Structure 1
Amino acid sequence: MPLEKLQQKVSVIGLGYIGLPTAALIARGGAQVVGVDVSAHVVETVNSGRVHIEEVDLDGLVQGVVSRGNLRASLEVEPSDVFIIAVPTPVAEDRAPDISHVLKAARTVAQVLKSGDTVILESTSPVGTTEAMRDLFAQLRPDLKMPEPGVAGDIAIAYCPERVLPGRILVELIDNDRCIGGITPRCARKALGFYRQFVRGACITTSARAAEMVKLVENSFRDVNIAFANELSVIAERMDIDVWEVIRLANRHPRVNILQPGPGVGGHCIAVDPWFIVHGDPENSRLIRTAREVNDGKTDYVVAKASDLIDEFPGEDIACLGLAFKPNIDDFRESPAVKVAGRLAKRYGRRIKLVEPYAHDLPMEFAGTGAELIDLDTALEQCGVFVILVDHDMFKSVPVDERADKAVYDTRGVWPDQPRRPSAGQTAPDQARIAI
């Protein structure tokens, strides 16, 4: 059901991986949408009808809604009927949640709020953030009555987290169910009415605190399950068992669904959000904390195992395949692949060659190391050692005969049929397992 044209003006604060697709979808429904960002480059890019992030079909959508005048970008917040805040919520060095970007965005929104407006926070946030935003509005705008139990309030304030998969964001923003938490039930109902205009999935209301916890629980659940897979991969490697076969066969059980191991966990959600729960109740979040430690520790383990393999072939160049935090996207946030490859580059310098089809330039972690970005064909020609860190589809397409003479450490199960290449002084029966 499309938005009723021109009856709502919507401001989306933050034009990142969630904000820009959300703004473009709402604009496609006919609303007038202003996307607000602190980056002049982002604003200029969007206003020219282009995109600064990689996402399937987003470029064409943005070009269309900008050309029709339904979406424009700005450095300044403008009066609107609905405000959606989609800014980063990182963790600090002590792993405490940092909601400063949310509060800064709320301060700017407060300047233009009027009676009847709706403010929706979509940023993944620790429990209580939506209430903190309400309290900030109360402090900055004493002329407006804030919603609270038993009080309707002049504005509606709600929390509605995204739950999308990179590469499918435009589809899942529409089709996935949404959990909408209001400061009051009336706030939740008003936000519900907004989302029902462009979301086909079920829209379910609850309290703001419950919705905040739901988002954290979803990502912590996946983190715990990935930790099990990562821990299992270490155990299987030390017992000389193929972990990929073990998982494949175990998952034939009707009630078992083990996820896939890797070099750690990355992204802006799963690698970060569990710490919000740990920070909120450190005494009772022992399993969640342990899972985070297991997944972070897997990165250290991969660096050590990759170094052991590289040291067996001192004359060979090393290809690190992949830098993104998951396959077939250009998102490197919190990527364990970047961490592994960066540490290897600091140790082995110019011998490290990086293959990342979704990168035009190397992340800053590689500055001064001498490592260089090359394509896959060049890597297959020049490199004798391969460390597979991301399971991009491109890497899966390499046939056995093109890689048969390579020494491989495979953290993703991309080349399960890889022949084992002995190092100098080894005979084939004696060689160590190099792909787990």
Structure 2
Amino acid sequence: MLPGHVMRELIENDRVIGGMTARCSQRACELYKSFVRGECIVTNARTAEMCKLTENAFRDVNIAFANELSIICDKLGINVWDLVGLANRHPRVNILQPGPGVGGHCIAVDPWFIVDSAPDEARLIRTAREVNNGKPGWVINKIDEAIAQAKADGKQNEDLTIAVFGLAFKPDIDDLRESPALDIAVELAGRHPGRVLAVEPHISVLPAKLDASKLILVDLPTASAQADIAVLLVDHKPFKDHSLPSHMKIIDTKGIWT
């Protein structure tokens, strides 16, 4: 279900239903038809479960293409968002937007069930997972490069303030499950001797499990005024409507401040 649209999707989406027996499928279909406006399609249990996993693996593979493309473009000095916009003008091309990785309770998890069930055959699905799982590390490396440049300009590690913008796993929600943005922020706070600020407009306190971290939750104006390095991880709407000081080093994983 899409966060923020659960009721709409619960009612309007089609349903693929597969019971352990034909009778189970029939009864499940009767239940769903009592509130679902979409079509209820009956199949067997194995196919229904594989359908759910396939939907999320498909998304994961397509996101991996975009993320890998962003890494290639960075190496070649090409603006990946400009490139995607141009390539998508082709009537049969629809490249997704790259980001810092893949999160959430479905897309980042479900492909592994396919890989586990057919490890020798699921080569593309496994590779996509590895590409997306590796993207946060690539972002950390870009931050390290920015830190090294600041030190070369005379700054000390302890004096550098880094602000990460966004902790949720996708824009305009408060869901932090399996979020690559959160993982990046926590790792950065654990290794950087200076201050690490986090801006997440959809939460008021950090999760309890982060109590021991050095991550400091602040608002957007505070981070904009105090940070030396800005790391854009989630394209929340408040960030799209905001501009940063020109002197600030920006690492933009979503292409809204690039």
- Report the TM-score when normalising by structure 2: 0.93
**Residue number among 224, 230, 239 corresponding to 2:67 in the alignment:** 230
**Residue number among 78, 81, 86 corresponding to 1:241 in the alignment:** 78
Q: How does 1:350-361 map to 2 (within 5 A)?
A: 350-361=194-205
Q: How does 1:34-433 map to 2 (within 5 A)?
A: 164-313=1-150, 314=155, 315-363=159-207, 366-399=210-243, 402-416=244-258
CA contact (8 A) 2:18 2:48 kept: yes
Deviation for aligned residue 1:188: 1.1
Deviation for aligned residue 1:349: 4.2
Provide the rounded CA distance (Å) in 1 between the counterparts of 2:194 and 2:204: 19
Richer in helix (by share): 2
Provide the rounded CA distance (Å) in 2 between the counterparts of 1:345 and 1:398: 24
- Alpha-carbon deviations, 1:240-292, whole Å to 9, x = none? 00000011111111111111111111000000000000111111111111110
- Alpha-carbon deviations, 1:301-343, whole Å to 9, x = none? 1111112112322443111001100011111111000111111
CA contact (8 A) 1:222 1:270 kept: yes
- Alpha-carbon deviations, 1:156-215, whole Å to 9, x = none? xxxxxxxx2112111111111111111122221111111111111111111111100000
Q: One-letter code of the match for 2:49?
A: E
Q: One-letter code of the match for 1:188?
A: S
Provide the rounded CA distance (Å) in 1 between the counterparts of 2:77 and 2:208: 37
Structure 2 stretches lacking a partner, 5+ long: none
Q: One-letter code of the match for 1:324?
A: A
**What is the count of residue pairs matched by the alignment?**
251
Three-state SS of the structure 1 residue aligned to 2:77 is coil
Q: One-letter code of the match for 2:68?
A: E
Moved more, 406-415 or 314-323: 314-323
Three-state SS of the structure 1 residue aligned to 2:235 is coil
CA contact (8 A) 1:310 1:318 kept: no
- Alpha-carbon deviations, 1:340-384, whole Å to 9, x = none? 111111111451001011222223564434221000011111112
Say if 1:350 and 1:371 are closer, same or farther in 2 by CA, change over 3 A: farther
Q: One-letter code of the match for 1:230?
A: N
CA contact (8 A) 2:29 2:42 kept: yes
- Alpha-carbon deviations, 1:38-90, whole Å to 9, x = none? xxxxxxxxxxxxxxxxxxxxxxxxxxxxxxxxxxxxxxxxxxxxxxxxxxxxx
- Alpha-carbon deviations, 1:68-121, whole Å to 9, x = none? xxxxxxxxxxxxxxxxxxxxxxxxxxxxxxxxxxxxxxxxxxxxxxxxxxxxxx
Provide the rounded CA distance (Å) in 1 between the counterparts of 2:213 and 2:251: 21
Provide the rounded CA distance (Å) in 2 between the counterparts of 1:176 and 1:411: 31
- Larger Rg: 1 or 2? 1
Three-state SS of the structure 2 residue aligned to 1:234 is helix
Three-state SS of the structure 2 residue aligned to 1:403 is coil
Say if 1:368 and 1:191 are closer, same or farther in 2 by CA, change over 3 A: closer
Three-state SS of the structure 2 residue aligned to 1:368 is coil
CA contact (8 A) 2:164 2:185 kept: yes
CA contact (8 A) 1:178 1:202 kept: yes
Provide the rounded CA distance (Å) in 1 between the counterparts of 2:236 and 2:18: 36
Three-state SS of the structure 2 residue aligned to 1:319 is strand
Q: One-letter code of the match for 1:171?
A: R
**RMSD of the TM alignment (CA)?**
1.4
CA contact (8 A) 2:160 2:194 kept: no
Provide the rounded CA distance (Å) in 2 between the counterparts of 1:274 and 1:388: 27
- Report the TM-score when normalising by structure 1: 0.56
Say if 1:365 and 1:229 are closer, same or farther in 2 by CA, change over 3 A: farther
Provide the rounded CA distance (Å) in 1 between the counterparts of 2:62 and 2:92: 14
Three-state SS of the structure 2 residue aligned to 1:413 is coil
CA contact (8 A) 1:174 1:198 kept: yes
Provide the rounded CA distance (Å) in 2 between the counterparts of 1:364 and 1:389: 21
CA contact (8 A) 1:307 1:344 kept: no
